[in-house]
A and B are shown apart, each in its own frame.
Chain A
């Protein structure tokens, strides 16, 4: 067996193909932006999560601090239970508010954390007690129409 120019061409072809995959992974995809830093888990109950999905971002003051890992229905309270993993570098006080917000008018939904003033910090596994549900557009329109009709009667 000897090396030939054909092997060189095929080798270059394979290298170029793998390089294209790497570009797709790191430059186009999100593999380069994955933060490998350690996280801790928090959970919160919401009466309505709207269109929140797993992997949605968690922001505080607009800065990405974590991601939603799990969403399930709590069968005792009939509320949505959301598990979030938060970057270990960020600590939040016990009376932090968790709101489900929408980025832009029709954008994705995310959880916004607004910290309170408590001295004690939330630890891994703790629950955020103070939550505000997602604003569901249909409900808002429904309320608006109802109010309209009521005031029209007078």
Chain B
């Protein structure tokens, strides 16, 4: 009966998905529980910050500059219609600090560092390094997973801040240097519009949440990957897809809470 088989297929997929969610939640709690080592032996975390944070610097800085430059161009074209080119500074800064900085930096981080984390842990599992650690009574969550988690969580807000700062610089280059918007009104309108607590700090909180989501998804996918070449490649793909979706959905929820009404 093909219909029965179809129904059975759907059912097993749903059960499998719920199973994975439960395992992911337990995995996240275990990571938090065993994170003592990543602070006592902070070197482990520093090493991972090098691979996830420092190595993502170039893509973040270049992408931030270009996003800011595009905002400068597009914003100028639109604002010119209403004769308010002087508001270009606040447009560029607000859109970067509130949305584009945290979201785009997290998307880049997921595809640059998150996929690498998944592949690394997946391969460690495939080559039985994780099983070997367990045999030596070394907890792989504490030794391998938690330092990567904290490295990602610490790096993400810093990367997002750099993205926004470079974006404002890019907007300045296009708006003031190339197009010729008045420099004084560019900065003063920006400073009048951007509130430190309401805009900058909420952006930092957003990028912190995205950092937690991206690293947990990447690490879990790596840890849960079937120990084959195919399994690791599938897990890497899933990491990028799932963390991108998680970032965009979380962004909507956070924005709804933070910027509602005013």
Contact = CB atoms under 8 A, between A and B. Distances in A.
Interface of A: 1, 6-7, 9-10, 12-14, 16-18, 20-21, 23-25, 27-33, 53, 55
Interface SS of chain A:
helix
Contact of A17 (B46, B162, B192, B200): B162
Nearest to A53: B262
* A13, A16, A24, most chain B CB atoms within 10 A: A24
Contact of A24 (B43, B49, B54, B200): B200
A29 B50 contact: no
A28 B158 contact: no
Contacts of A18: 158
Interface in B231-262: 262
A13 B49 contact: yes
Interface of B: 43, 46-47, 49-50, 53-54, 57, 93, 97, 155, 157-159, 161-162, 164-166, 168, 187, 190-192, 194-196, 199-200, 204, 262
A29 B196 contact: yes
Contacts of B164: 20, 24, 28
Given A27-B187, A33-B191, A20 B165 contact: yes
Contacts of A21: 158, 161, 200, 204
Contacts of A23: 165, 168
A122 B158 CA distance: 47
Contacts, number: 82
Contacts of B46: 6-7, 10
The 7 residue pairs across chains A and B that have the minimum distance between CB atoms: A17-B158, A20-B165, A20-B161, A29-B196, A20-B162, A31-B196, A21-B161
B233 to A, nearest CB: 29
Given A20-B161, A33-B191, A10 B200 contact: no
10 contacts: A6-B47, A6-B50, A12-B54, A20-B165, A21-B158, A23-B165, A28-B191, A28-B194, A29-B194, A30-B192
A29 B199 contact: yes
Nearest to B94: A28
B204 A29 contact: no
A21 B158 CA distance: 8
* A10, A23, A31, A55, most chain B CB atoms within 10 A: A10
* A1, A9, A20, most chain B CB atoms within 10 A: A20
Contacts of A31: 196
A28 B57 contact: no
Nearest to A7: B46
B49 A10 contact: yes
Contacts of A1: 43
B4 to A, nearest CB: 56
Contacts of A7: 46
B168 A10 contact: no
* A6, A14, A29, A31, most chain B CB atoms within 10 A: A29
A24 to B, nearest CB: 5
B43 A29 contact: no
Contacts of A29: 97, 191, 194-196, 199-200
